[in-house]
Structures are given as C-alpha cells and as structure tokens.
Amino acid sequence: KNTFTVARGRRAWVGHHVGDLENYETLRSFEEGIAHFETLFEVAPRAVAHDLHPDYLSTRYARDRAEAQGLARSAVQHHHAHMVACLGEHGVEGPALGVIYDGTGYGPDGTVWGGELLAGDAASCERIGHLWPARLPGGEAAVRRPWHMACSWLCELEEGDPVLPAWLDGRVDPVEWGAVVRLARSGLVSPLTTSAGRLFDAVSALCGLRLEVSYEGQAAIELEGVGLVEA
C-alpha cells in the first residue's frame, strides 16, 4: 500500500501507488518514482519523514538518504499519521481527540497498535486509550489465518486453555489449535496487539465465516457482508 509524497511550501505531490515494499523490484519503483517527482516538480528535500517501524524498506531508504545528504529525519507513528491526515483534510489544527481503528501499526512501546484513542495535534499526541490487547500468535501468520486471532481472544477470555470450538471441528487441525494456544500463552513469536482489524478477524473466524484469507481485510469484509444481508 506504499506511496510517496514530495512537498515544497504549501504544495504537495502524491506519487503513484507502489504497493508493499517487500522485494527489490517494488523498492526500485519507489526510489525511481521519488527521483522522477523531484526532477519534475523541482523539489530539493531538506527533510524526510517516514513510518516509525524500524524495519520497513521505506524507513531504511529514508534513513540512508538522510545520512548521505545531511537531511533532517522524522519518524511518525502510524496512527498519529492517520489522525493528522484527518485533521488536515478538514483544515483543523487541533488539539483534537482521534479514534483510529485500523489493521496494524508499530507503536512506540514496541507493540502492534491498531485500535487507538489519541489526543493531540500534528506536532504530537498522547495515547489515552486503546482496545484490550491480545496476542498475535505467529506474528504475520495470524494476519493470514484469522482463526489464530480467534484462538488468541479465547485465551484472553478464558482462564484455562480454550478448546477448539465445535463448529470449527474438521476445519482447524486440533494439533495446530493447541500449538497456537501455547504460542498465545507463552508470548513466543506473539506480540501484543490492540488492532481493531485483528479483532474483526477473530469474530469472523469464531462465526465460522473466514478462517484463512487471500487478501487484506477479507475476513472483516465477509463479516460485514453477512451483517448487511441479515439487516
């Protein structure tokens, strides 16, 4: 979902959609697009801003370029950026209260945010509330397999180890279910998350709608679709 923007004065030019920067080809497209826009609009950056996540390829690009060219560099928390984008869209300077329900974003505390209550403005914000944190068993695997989040939320709600729900019997391997329970209980490869998106995934899986996804947001979309039909 990556894109880039170059800005000068009160003008900003948003680049084309590049997609996930997961390989060399998309990274090259990202870099070439920035260079093209800087030439086209005669922009010579003095500062660069990037996502707070330290391992994104866009973050590495920003860090390397800032170091090579002596540019100021600013890391921006993902959900604070969402809040500020909304303020900017409506011409509001703040301070304001922002409710950001999202998939995932790196939090300054090292956990995975996504269901946040933030107070602040474009310069800074304070996290004053969030959804109840649950484990993300298997990390990225839990994004692709919503039943991992269903298991995780049952672990949060029950004192003992949750058994495989009867309506998921035959659709989830009991041995795999037990392994995910152990991951969630131990915290191994299972960071905490307050993600609203992962909560929707858990509900969709617990309803038996979508246990694995082939595209982002599929579990939540299908859950919404069932709700609309029933309404």
How far is 50 from 96, CA to CA, in rounded Å?
23
Report pLDDT digits (tens) over 43-77. Answer: 999 999 999 999 899 999 999 999 999 999 999 99
Q: Which residues pair with 5 in a beta bridge?
A: 14
Residue 231 has what pLDDT? 54
What are the residues whose beta carbons fall under 8 Å from the beta carbon of 168, sequence distance 6 or more?
147, 150, 205, 208, 211
- Please state, in angstroms and as integers, the Cα–Cα distance from residue 206 to each residue in 66, 152, 166, 195, following that order: 46, 11, 10, 17
**Section 85-104 average pLDDT:** 92
- Is pLDDT larger for residue 10 or for residue 149? 149
What is the per-residue pLDDT for 23? 83
Q: What is the mean pLDDT of the chain?
A: 93
Characterise 104 by phi-psi region: left (phi > 0), alpha (psi -120 to 50), beta (else): beta
Tokens 């068993």 label which residue?
137
Q: What is the pTM of this model?
A: 0.86
- pLDDT category at 229 given cuts 50, 70, 90 is low
Q: What pLDDT shows up at residue 228?
A: 64
Query: CA Rg, the chain, in Å?
Result: 20
Q: What local confidence, expressed as pLDDT, does residue 176 receive?
A: 96
